[in-house]
């Protein structure tokens, strides 16, 4: 009697969600795929002729290399973010409740300002004779300016800065739910602190860690403005490439083809991560 | 007695709260000792100090004569069966039970055989590949015990292991645990707040209160010869009666009620209640409310009746007042 009725009302409530997904997620995605098989028009827009030319174009070394570079940068950034973010989230979960709330607040505050504006702040820090150089030289650690702005390390720092909070939040939410008596049980059964960490804590927080990896790795493949602002023209990533093709070269089909490949690669990686870890549900992600 | 575990003058505070105020205990090899007390008396803290999950502020913990007070929990050869069982949810039953052997690098085939042996011992044969989430409370309990005894610990600590089980299962598990302990010959330090459980299973009972042992003795000692009024009330549900400058403990079944009689104390029947096959009669007297109990449901007494309360001298035990 009741279940059927409830089923119907639940379905009704889900309709906006489906509509939203269809219009704003699936729609653009399909449009992008279609676009990627069309040809660029002489002046503006596209012609309705089917071609696989755009995908063939990606195989040119110049573009393939961009993919490889992006992948390397994303991997490096993600590794560093794990090293910084995992302990941060882990220890944050062990703080008394009052301090948890305070830390959460401190992590949220930067989000009140546009990330673009915050990145410009790094220019002031990194530029020759900027804050960083002045501090290092003042302390006698270096004797000449490092000139970090528009270098690879500057881009990596920017990536870490922009994406670290997501790793912290993901690990924290996993560690917060952790039953610490399991660690005590492991210790009690003869595990050293390190063994207990690797056999119990890490396994229990793996869903958080993996969602953190996805939340940092996927965006760092595509984030173009960090490389643009802090890397100048020296570091070209897939994201920047797509943006250039779209905004400067007006080659929409090629930009679409690049996007399709980027989406495919990242989706594949997500599937791989999940297979690898045997984790069914990722923290905060489906 | 061949002493395997010794606690001497253990003190422990958490902030301003004093939890243990000088605990002394010597447990013999193969002995079943129960720490009995109400919640907050320091039972669990005592257990955690033995296992090394807490360190005492002062006092020593000796295992087979060696001082392990500051030793890491993994260096003690003492295991705990936690109240929540604390089974690793990401490992199946086999991996859970074999955990301690795996840490020690025992060969896979050997672990497999040993786990099978343990599952037979706790009567869960063939459960190797189940996940903890698929087990009932009683089954989890057995897995937790198997996990803790597989590498023959010197002492097994059990923190209210039957607390989460229903009454029938509890009774069955009490018998089974006792059987297991006899068979394995491992020293058990067992925590409970249930005096019946303590009386049923233990070789010796340590009655705990406010971070101290009120009395340590055999079930017969604490039940029949309580030293303090607290022990008499907590273990034997005895009436405490101040009389002639002495504090006496008289258990409810020994309290005699005579209608319109004189007895030692005059009183008035207040109420009657029936539970567990016993009729309990509460009587108001000048020494406070006393409770008498009888088998069967019938009684000539009714609320409001005047009665004389008395008892045989041999059934009154003189105890230290609270």
State the complex-level ipTM: 0.86
Position A278 confidence tier, pLDDT thresholds 50, 70, 90: low
Position B277 confidence tier, pLDDT thresholds 50, 70, 90: confident
In this predicted structure, the answer to whether residue A2 has a pLDDT above a threshold of 50 is no
CA distance B204 to chain A (A): 25
Domains of chain B, start order: 3-224 (3.40.50.300), 238-318 (2.40.50.140)
**CA angle A54–A59–A62, rounded 5-degree value:** 105
Report DSSP state, residue B183: H
Position A279 confidence tier, pLDDT thresholds 50, 70, 90: low
What is the average pLDDT across B243-257?
A: 89
What does the pLDDT read at residue A226? 87
What does the pLDDT read at residue A1? 44
Nearest CB to B53: which of A179, A188, A190? A188
Write out pLDDT tens, residues B94-112.
999 999 999 999 999 999 9
Round the CA-based radius of gyration of chain A to a whole number and report it: 23
What is the average pLDDT across B159-177?
A: 88
CA distance B86 to chain A (A): 5
Round the CA-based radius of gyration of chain B to a whole number and report it: 23
Q: For A279, name the nearest residue in chain B, comparing CA atoms only.
A: B90
What does the pLDDT read at residue B155? 96
Residues of B whose CB is below 8 A from A195: 103
What are the domain boundaries of chain A?
68-277
Burial of B79 (0-12, 13-18, 19+ CB in 10 A): buried
Distance of CA A175 to the CA centre of its chain: 20
In this predicted structure, the answer to whether residue A234 has a pLDDT above a threshold of 80 is no
CA distance A278 to chain B (A): 11
What does the pLDDT read at residue A6? 59
Residues of A whose CB is below 8 A from B74: 187-192
Which residue out of B44, B49, B68, B73 would a mutagenesis test of the A interface target, given it has the greatest number of A Cβ atoms within 10 Å? B73
What is the average pLDDT across B209-221?
A: 95
Burial of A30 (0-12, 13-18, 19+ CB in 10 A): exposed
Arch. (CATH architecture) of A68-277: Orthogonal Bundle (1.10)
Write out pLDDT tens, residues B179-210.
999 999 999 999 999 999 999 999 999 999 99
Write out pLDDT tens, residues A64-92.
998 998 999 999 999 999 999 999 999 99
Residues sharing a CB contact under 8 Å with residue A284, sequence separation 6 or more, in sequence order: A169, A170, A173, A211
In this predicted structure, the answer to whether residue B56 has a pLDDT above a threshold of 90 is yes
**How far is the C-alpha of A160 from the C-alpha of A199, rounded, in Å?**
28
Nearest CB to A195: which of B78, B89, B103? B103
Pairing of strands B306-310, B256-259: antiparallel
Write out pLDDT tens, residues B69-97.
999 999 999 999 999 999 999 999 999 99
Note whether A186 contacts B99, CB cutoff 8 Å. yes
Closest to B214 measured CA to CA, from B202, B231, B198:
B231
Interhelix angle for A97-108 vs A152-176, to 10°?
150
CA distance B208 to chain A (A): 24
In this predicted structure, the answer to whether residue A34 has a pLDDT above a threshold of 80 is yes
Position A286 confidence tier, pLDDT thresholds 50, 70, 90: very low
What does the pLDDT read at residue B290? 92
**How far is the C-alpha of A72 from the C-alpha of A221, rounded, in Å?**
9
Beta strand ranges found along chain B (DSSP E): 3-14, 17-28, 32-36, 58-63, 66-67, 78-81, 155-159, 187-192, 204-209, 212-217, 238-243, 246-251, 256-259, 265-275, 278-285, 288-295, 306-310, 317-318
Residues of B whose CB is below 8 A from A203: 90
Report DSSP state, residue B237: -
Closest to B72 measured CA to CA, from A199, A181, A188:
A188
């Amino acid at each position: 009697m009741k279940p059927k009725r409830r089923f119907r009302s639940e379905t009704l409530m889900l309709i906006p969600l489906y509509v939203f997904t269809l219009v704003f997620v699936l729609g653009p995605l399909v449009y992008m795929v279609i676009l990627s098989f069309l040809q660029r028009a002489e002046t503006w827009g596209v012609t309705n002729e089917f071609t696989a030319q755009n995908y063939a174009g990606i195989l040119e070394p110049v573009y393939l290399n961009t993919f490889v570079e992006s992948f390397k940068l994303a991997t490096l950034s993600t590794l560093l973010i794990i090293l910084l973010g995992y302990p941060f989230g882990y220890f944050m979960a062990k703080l008394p409740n009052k301090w948890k709330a305070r830390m959460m607040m401190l992590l949220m505050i930067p989000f009140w300002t546009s990330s673009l504006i915050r990145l410009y702040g790094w220019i002031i820090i990194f530029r020759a004779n900027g804050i960083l150089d002045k501090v290092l030289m003042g302390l006698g650690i270096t004797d000449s300016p490092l000139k970090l702005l528009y270098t690879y390390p500057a881009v990596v720092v920017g990536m870490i800065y922009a994406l670290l909070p997501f790793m912290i939040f993901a690990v924290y939410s996993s560690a917060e739910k952790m039953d610490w008596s399991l660690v005590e049980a492991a210790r009690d059964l003869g595990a050293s602190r390190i063994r207990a960490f690797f056999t119990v804590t890490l396994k229990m927080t793996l869903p958080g860690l993996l969602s953190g990896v996805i939340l940092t790795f996927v965006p760092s493949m595509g984030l173009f403005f960090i490389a643009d602002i802090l890397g100048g023209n020296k570091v070209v990533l897939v994201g920047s490439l797509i943006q250039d093709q779209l905004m400067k070269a007006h080659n929409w089909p090629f930009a679409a083809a690049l996007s399709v490949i980027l989406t495919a690669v990242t989706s594949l990686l997500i599937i791989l991560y999940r297979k690898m870890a045997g984790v069914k549900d990722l923290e905060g992600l489906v | 007695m061949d002493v395997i575990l010794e606690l001497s003058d253990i003190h422990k505070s958490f902030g301003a709260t004093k939890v243990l105020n000088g605990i002394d205990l010597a447990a013999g090899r193969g002995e079943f000792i129960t720490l009995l007390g109400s919640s907050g008396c320091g039972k669990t803290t005592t257990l955690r100090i033995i296992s090394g999950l807490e360190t005492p502020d002062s006092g020593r913990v000796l295992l087979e004569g060696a001082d392990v007070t500051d030793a890491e929990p993994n260096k003690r050869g003492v295991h705990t069966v936690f109240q929540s069982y604390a089974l690793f949810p990401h490992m199946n039953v086999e991996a859970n039970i074999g955990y301690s052997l795996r840490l020690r690098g025992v060969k896979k085939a050997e672990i497999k055989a040993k786990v099978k042996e343990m599952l037979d011992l706790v009567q869960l044969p063939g459960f190797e590949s189940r996940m903890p989430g698929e087990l009932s409370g009683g089954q989890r309990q057995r897995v937790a015990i198997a996990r803790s005894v597989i590498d023959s610990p010197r002492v097994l600590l059990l923190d209210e292991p039957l607390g989460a089980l229903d009454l029938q299962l509890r009774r069955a598990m009490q018998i089974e645990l006792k059987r297991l302990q006899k068979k394995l010959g491992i020293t058990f330090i067992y925590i409970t707040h249930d005096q019946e459980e303590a009386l049923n299973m233990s070789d010796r009972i340590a009655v705990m209160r406010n971070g101290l042992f009120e009395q340590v003795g055999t079930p017969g000692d604490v039940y029949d010869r309580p030293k303090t009024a607290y022990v008499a009330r907590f273990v034997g549900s005895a009436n405490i009666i101040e009389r002639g400058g002495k504090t006496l403990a008289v258990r409810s079944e020994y309290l005699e009620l005579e209608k319109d009689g004189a007895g030692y104390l005059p009183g008035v029947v207040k109420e009657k209640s029936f539970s567990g096959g016993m009729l309990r009669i509460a009587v108001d007297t000048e020494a406070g409310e006393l409770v008498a109990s009888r088998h069967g449901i019938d009684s000539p007494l009714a609320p409001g009746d005047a009665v004389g309360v008395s008892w045989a001298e041999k059934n009154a035990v003189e105890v230290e007042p609270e």
